[in-house]
Amino acid sequence: MQIKITPQTLSGCVPAPVSKSAAHRLLICAALGDRPCAIRCSGTNADIEATVACLSALGADIRREVDLLLVTPISAGSTSKGAALDCGESGSTLRFLLPVVCALGADCTLIGHGRLPSRPLSPLYEELVAHGAILSENGKMPLTVGGKLDAGVFTIDGGVSSQFISGLLFALPLLQAPAEIAVTGKLESARYIDLTLEALAAFGIVPERTENGWKFDGTERYRSPETLSVEGDWSNAAFWLVAGALPGEKISPLTVTGLRADSLQGDKTIVPLLKQFGAKVEQNGEAYTVTSAPMQGTLIDAADIPDLVPILSVAAAFASGETVIRNIARLRIKESDRVATVLFLLGAFGVSAFADENTLTILGGGSDGGLPAISAPTLSSFNDHRIAMAAAIFASAAVGDAENDALVIETAEAVRKSYPDFYERYRSLGGIAEEV
């Protein structure tokens, strides 16, 4: 699918989509629980549906009734054998469920698409094998799973992926024996671990915090509450919040509703970062309103907020002076090589930028350098949902000319991964997004 974006200021009010990070976690806990649980989840996306499909293949019964997901858990001792678990392109689904199926002793096959088969599973893979799992060759899919996980100490490098740790946190209570996670090195994306611990606590599981990880005593059991709600997603709300900060023909505020101020999502850092750039941000309960103001380049540490880098790069392009984003190395193993694709994105609007192994530097425009202009007629999303959305927000505030008065985003359907109604919401804010 191709979407043609014509520059037009975005303004108005839009609800935050549901958090897929929260939905994954609550669905997994509910499927491992002791009784049915209703999860209020007003929306969905391809990644959430992948987790639903995999849990259903394992034996859970998950049905949607309007805004509710009704989860009847996997019956004890009756996990489906020989099931095929299609993780789609969802790294969270694969990395969360691999340790779980090993702990359940579920002989199954994990399938992935897009770049998912090439995304790393080490050192999680080696730790699972060392504790009794029988896995087919690392780095190749389909990945077959056999054996049953033994308890013990699971040692994981904290700098590779927090999803490995989350997967073990979900799995180890199922062993019903003392087990421990020992994290080595610096723990990055720690807020995602906090989200996992929050979900586990809602189901009665609170592991003991140790000096370098977490410990289970073997008595833990998943105890399901009757109802839970999936909170709004700060990661995707960030696209609208940045849109409100961008210059336009008139100063028009943009409001996003349904965002918890006390959320454990790390990407709520978008609010102080926008203030750091110079944008005007106001809060009223769970509503956040952003109004454009002159922005200045700044210094950003992306270690705990890698998913914000594409849209932060858009903000940097409209800020005067230099923005430096550090700790970007892990962006190379996302849905695309996001270091390369962000550079392509910036180049499509004539913005100078360069990167080394771990730092991205953007030379913004703003009041000193003028506004970025559409300098390429088309841009591929590289099948990356965050690149597609960032490109649409970028084009809304860019300058068009007689030669390039609009930008056509190729493989624009990539947004289905996390935000299937993104373009509908874009149009509701006055944006011009036409399918061509």
Q: What integer pLDDT is reported at residue 193 of this predicted model? A: 96
The pLDDT confidence band at residue 367, using thresholds 50, 70 and 90, is very low
Max Cα separation, the chain?
Answer: 69
Cα 97 → chain centroid = 16
Catalytic one of 307, 356, 401, 405: 307
Q: What integer pLDDT is reported at residue 366 of this predicted model? A: 43
Instruction: Please give the share of the chain, as a percent, with pLDDT higher than 70.
Output: 98
pTM of the full predicted structure? 0.93
Mean per-residue pLDDT of the chain? 94
Strand order through the sheet with 68-72: 61-65, 68-72, 37-40, 227-229
Q: What integer pLDDT is reported at residue 77 of this predicted model? A: 67
pLDDT(368) > 50: no
Q: What integer pLDDT is reported at residue 332 of this predicted model? A: 87
pLDDT(358) > 90: yes
Which is more confidently placed, 223 or 375?
Answer: 223
194 tagged catalytic: no
Q: List Cβ neighbours of 319 (8 Å cut-off, separation of 6 or more).
A: 277, 278, 295, 296, 297, 298, 364, 365, 366
Which is more confidently placed, 404 or 355?
Answer: 355
What pLDDT, in 10s, does the model give residues 75-85?
876 666 789 99
Is CATH 3.20.20.220 the right assignment for the domain spanning 3-16+234-435? no
Task: Assess whether the region 3-16+234-435 and the region 20-215 belong to the same CATH fold.
Answer: yes
pLDDT(375) > 80: yes
The pLDDT confidence band at residue 189, using thresholds 50, 70 and 90, is confident
* Other Cβ atoms closer than 10 A to 81: 11
Between vectors from CA 198 to CA 210 and to CA 325, what angle results, nearest 5°?
A: 85
> Cα–Cα distance between 166 and 24 in angstroms, integer?
11
What pLDDT, in 10s, does the model give residues 145-167?
999 999 999 999 998 889 999 99
Domain ranges of the chain: 3-16+234-435, 20-215
Q: Which whole number is the average pLDDT over 312-320?
A: 96
Q: What integer pLDDT is reported at residue 78 of this predicted model? A: 65
- Tell me which CATH homologous superfamily contains domain 20-215: Enolpyruvate transferase domain (3.65.10.10)
pLDDT(249) > 80: no
Radius of gyration for the chain, computed over Cα atoms and rounded to the nearest angstrom: 22
Q: Which of 88-97, 229-238, 367-376 has the lowest mean pLDDT?
A: 367-376
Q: Which of 12-16, 77-81, 100-104, 130-134 has the lowest mean pLDDT?
A: 77-81
Burial of 150 (0-12, 13-18, 19+ CB in 10 A): middle
Q: What integer pLDDT is reported at residue 70 of this predicted model? A: 98
Token pair recorded at residue 317: 């392009």
The pLDDT confidence band at residue 369, using thresholds 50, 70 and 90, is low
Q: What integer pLDDT is reported at residue 328 of this predicted model? A: 94
